[in-house]
Homo-oligomer: A and B are copies of this chain.
């Protein structure tokens, strides 16, 4: 074991918050303390939280995490959203240089950043700058994103809880739709990756095989080019047969030229530092699709069908009903990062790798691995082709993949013929 270099640890949270990002925060803090941090004479003397990520770090705005009681840590761990505050800043080389300066000024030697692919890229750049400058700095990225779009990982903390919300909301909303029939569109998060929208398929009754008539009957993902005419035809076909139709649509659906359809519809859409155009926080996409269906599916001389659109919005990433699997894994990812950091000679990103094969979901298991920052930094994983089925459905392979992640789902009863 190399000798640990003496200095402070910092932890930050970045990007969109999730229901379990604080589990990873608490995981790092409790493992570092377990390994000796903050005791007199220990190599790691302080554990500092960056307020609002690297923005707070460069301003010297910290919270003393090493001083928190076990009770506070446990309460924090089940609190949704990013307790340290988050940021959408995407540091360029000059900004990363300021981050490195801040680390030097505060004698930071252990840098933990919890976030998505942009955050892992920040980690990677800071890591390289430190190496070039001959400043010893252990850099660790801990995965987090409801979009589930990090490479190498089987899945990422935050996704299972968001998928749980989507599945439960769609279960109930489908029952609402059969109770008062009509066409119902639900817009679900996912800028480039369709994992979360695909999770709506878990709402179909577990005791019915795929291809059943349970909703959502139609699922539209960013990975499959969205064609307006085909969409109208799909909906008409279900509606004509059943007198109702339940539809899940990703906010990130794209036309064949990869232009996001939603981004064109939001008036004054705002763009973040990463160049991402706002897709969430607006009902425009759902409303536009609803208008389209009202117009196209009105019979000659007749009344338009009942069409409603809901956009699940921010509540899907932070609703206080986290998946127990997700809570455990997010915490453990934090532990694992702290353990590797305390070996003293490695940097990297923590990846969750599934070790079980599809089957009864009680047998589900994973392991944690250190991978290189460059393996995930600034790259986007998409829904693999084997997870989709046709142009408007997911496959059984996806259902087997996703089911173990979300925890127990309620089982509802239905009366025949309603």
Contacts and interface: CB of A to CB of B under 8 A. Distances in A.
Given A171-B320, A268-B291, A309-B282, A81 B179 contact: yes
A284 B283 contact: yes
Nearest to A85: B418
Point out which of A52, A72, A175 has the most chain B C-beta atoms below 10 A from its C-beta.
Answer: A175
Interface in A299-350: 304, 306-315, 317-321
A415 interface: yes
B294 A268 contact: yes
B415 A176 contact: no
A280 B290 CA distance: 12
A415 B49 contact: yes
B410 A81 contact: no
A180 B418 CA distance: 44
A414 interface: yes
Interface footprint category on A: 35 or more
Given A84-B418, A179-B86, A286 B283 contact: yes
Interface in A160-214: 168-169, 171-173, 175-176, 178-180, 184
Nearest to A268: B294
Interface string A375-418: 00000000000000000000000000000000000111111111
Interface in A70-91: 72, 75-76, 78-88
A180 B88 contact: yes
A179 B304 contact: no
A414 B83 contact: yes
Given A270-B304, A415-B63, A418-B85, A176 B283 contact: no
Interface residue SS majority, chain A? loop
A347 to B, nearest CB: 26
Given A16-B180, A281-B290, A310-B313, A81 B169 contact: no
B304 A310 contact: no
A175 B85 CA distance: 9
Given A81-B176, A176-B318, A287-B284, A310 B311 contact: yes
B315 A312 contact: yes
A286 B312 CA distance: 13
A328 to B, nearest CB: 18
Contact of A319 (B169, B268, B418): B169
Contacts of A171: 320
Contacts of A321: 168, 321
Interface in A238-293: 266-268, 270, 278, 280-284, 286-287, 290-291
Contacts of A155: none
A143 interface: no
A31 interface: no
A173 B315 contact: yes
Nearest to A77: B413
Contact of A283 (B84, B178, B287): B287
A90 to B, nearest CB: 14
Nearest to A168: B320
A414 to B, nearest CB: 7
Nearest to A418: B85
Contacts of A83: 179, 413-415, 418
Interface in A1-20: 13, 16-17, 19
B176 A314 contact: yes
A141 interface: no
Contact of A270 (B49, B267, B306): B306
13 contacts: A13-B179, A63-B418, A79-B414, A80-B172, A80-B176, A83-B415, A85-B178, A173-B314, A173-B318, A278-B308, A281-B309, A283-B286, A321-B321
Given A84-B415, A283-B283, 7 more contacts: A51-B417, A78-B412, A79-B412, A80-B172, A85-B179, A267-B287, A283-B287
